[in-house]
Structures are given as C-alpha cells and as structure tokens.
Amino acid sequence: MRKELLRKTKRIVVKIGSGVLTGGGNDIDPSFLEGLAEEIAALRAKRIEVVVVSSGAVAAGRQALGLSDRPKTLPQKQAAAAVGQSRLMRAYEEAFSRFNLKVAQILLTRDDLANRRRFQNARGTLDTLLACGIIPVINENDTVVVDELKFGDNDNLSALVTNLAEAQLLLIMTDIDGLYTADPRKDPSATLINQVKTITRDMERGAGSSGTSVGTGGMATKLAAAKKVVKSGVAAIVFAGKVKGNLGRIMAGDTVGTLFLPSGESLNRRKHWIAYTLRPAGSIQVDAGAREVLAKHGKSLLPSGIAKVDGRFARGACVRVLDPEGVEFARGIVDYSSQEIAQISGHKSSDIEKILGFRYGDDVIHRDNLVLL
C-alpha cells in the first residue's frame, strides 16, 4: 500500500515542529538541518519537489529577548518571531547551501489563504519557486498576526499548504514515532499504529497535548491536520523527525511512522478551501427536510428550508450550516447577506424578488459552494 502511494508522489509538504528543529533546546539544531538538507537533496535528485513548513522562529528569537520559556504575551511572541525569523532562514540557507540548494521564505496569515485571489497568487509563487529548483520554507507571519488571522498552529498550516501546493503527500515530523494506542510517555504498554484508514473520535480524544516547551502543537493537532488532507485525497504520515534518515526511508516505502490513508470520497481543491481555510462568519440553521436534501441528494440550499440565521455577514461569506438540533454538518458560501436571508427564510425562491426587490438567484448556497463535513 505504502509503496504504491509513494510511487505516484511527485510533490510533498514536510512540516517541521519546533521541538524537532531545536532538539528540545532553546536554539536551532544545525546538525538536524544539515541532515534534513541532505535528505531533501536526495529527493530532489529523484525529481520529487519539496515544500517545507517550518516552525521555530519564536523559539529561535526568544533567547535574544532573554526569555527562558515560551513567550507569554502576544507582543513577546511577535517580538521573538521578528528576531527569530531571520535567524531561522539564515540557518536554512547555510545548511541547504552545502548541498547546492536554495531556499525561499514565504510568510502567511489565514487572511492570505482565505482571499481567493491571494490564494491563487501564493500558489503561483510556489509553482514558480519549485520549477526553479528552489525549496520554499513557509511559516506563519507571527510578527503581525492577530487571533482572528491565526492558523492556530503550524500543523494546521501544513494541511492548508498541502492543498495550496496541490501536493500528493503531507509528512509531519514530530518528537515521537507516530500515533500510539496510548501516550507512550505515560503508558509503557502503548503500541505504534502503523496505518490508519479512518480517524475516529476515540483517536481524537486520546491524542495528547504538546510535550515540549517550544512548540504549540501536540498529537491532537497532527490528527486534525491529517484529517484535513485525507479529505482531499492526500495521504499523511506522522513520524519521528529526529531520527536521521527517516525521511528517505519513508519515501522508499519503508514502514516508518503512522500512515493516514486518503479518504475514499475526496473533496476537490475549492471545496477543501471552503471547508478548512475560510473562517465562518455566521450560521444558518435548516429544517429536517432541507438537511435531508443537502446531505443525501447533493442539492443547493433554498430559502424555503432555512429556519434561522445567526451572525452578521455579507454576500460571499462562509457560514456554518446547522441541522435542526444545532449540529454543524456543512459549510458554504452564501449568495445573500444575513439580513437578506432573514427576510427570505421560509419562502419560495420565486418570492425572493418580491420580498427584496432584486434577486441574485434561486439559491442561498449553491451546491458548488456547499461542503458536507
């Protein structure tokens, strides 16, 4: 199974956590970066394109600020990132130049990917860099980001970048061998799970928190990232990044880490963008009939099936779609504002122009802009 998946892989995203990059210490581990550069050079020689999503800017900068632990406030974090980002890229440049590889820095916020035109521009930049043989090194722009623009963690960012780059595989480097049946640091009987077909709620509940003082993501965020990419038909592997040679062994088809298999029914790139990149601005609650039509028959959402609207949003916003019990089961981009939807809710599409004085179309959310979760 692994070898068959990897045989078709020509573009990958490699996510590197702070704990791996720093070796658990307070600064970047140059020996790790040199080993990484050597392995990526070997992949490039096999015509495999590599995009790196790297944490570590805050960890690299906090020493200069005299901070002994992770920054506690947003200004401290942004200052540490401002100092550390240049140090991080210098470390990448020095390590990769030994293998005649060039790197390029790309800093993103959620707003960059939520805007469709900027999303497409970022994709064009990535494609051009890769065509020129340059390794893109992507990080969140921590120097300017605020809560509403945050990706949350770089595991989530790596999942969104996998969609952005149209990669065929996401590799997440962490400080343990992969997903275990229990936390191996607490339970000596825990065993490694080599392959996961479906990410279950039990797996998500059992995932532990971050095990280091330099990173923000634990196994739970890695499961969430894997769940996002498999929905778009892409495999993900979580593995021990500190073990030299693991990256090459994975790409050779060896059983290293935990492989998350692609979902049978995958989302196209646009629907993946709607479901996981856009931040919902409000919600629409539908009746039982509408839920049935949307979930089982793939139809558009009409005003007649809407029971309630929450939040204030404009036409073109992303919203959550809730069932009669208030449980989210879909997301979509609306063709009418919240105020307009409130006026036409429960009415037939033929009544829209009579009620509003204009009409964009029959649908509140067209099926092409609706994603079942």
What pLDDT sits at residue 146? 56
CA proximity to 333, closest of 313, 351, 312? 313
Which has the higher per-residue pLDDT, 214 or 195?
195
Over range 195-216, report the average pLDDT: 68
Which of the two residues, 66 and 233, has the higher pLDDT score? 233
| Domains detected in the chain | 2-271 (3.40.1160.10), 280-372 (2.30.130.10)
Q: Which of 253, 272, 241, 260 is nearest to 161 (CA)?
A: 272
pLDDT of 214 strictly over 70: no
Higher pLDDT, 175 or 70: 175
Over the chain, what is the mean pLDDT? 88
Three-state secondary-structure class, residue 110? helix
What span, in angstroms and rounded, lies between the C-alpha atoms of 266 and 274? 14
Residue 149: its pLDDT value, please? Answer: 42
Stretch 16-42: mean pLDDT: 88
Position 115 scores a pLDDT of 84
Please list the alpha-helical segments (H only) found in 11-73: 18-22, 30-45, 57-62
C-alpha 106/C-alpha 48 separation (Å) is 20
Instruction: Give whole-number Cα distances, 197 to 93, 202, 231, 235, 296, in Å.
Output: 38, 14, 12, 10, 23
Give the mean pLDDT of 193-199.
91
Whole-structure pTM value: 0.81
> What pLDDT band is residue 6 in, cutting at 50, 70 and 90?
confident
Query: Do the bridges between strand 11-16 and strand 169-174 make them parallel or antiparallel, or are there none, so unpaired?
Result: parallel
Q: For residue 60, what pLDDT band results from cuts at 50, 70 and 90?
A: confident
Residue 280: partners with Cβ closer than 8 Å, 6 or more residues away: 317, 318, 319, 320, 331
Average of per-residue pLDDT across 131-157:
78
Give percent of the chain with pLDDT exceeding 90.
Answer: 59
Q: Which residues contact 296 (CB under 8 A, 6 or more apart)?
A: none
pLDDT for the residue numbered 184: 80
Residue pair 217/176 in contact (Cβ under 8 Å)? The answer is: no
- Above 60 in pLDDT, residue 212? no
Query: Is 90 exceeded by the pLDDT of residue 106?
Result: yes
Q: Which of 267, 104, 286, 255 is nearest to 193 (CA)?
A: 255
Q: What is the pLDDT of residues 149-194, one digit of tens each?
A: 455 678 989 999 999 999 999 999 998 899 998 878 788 888 999 9
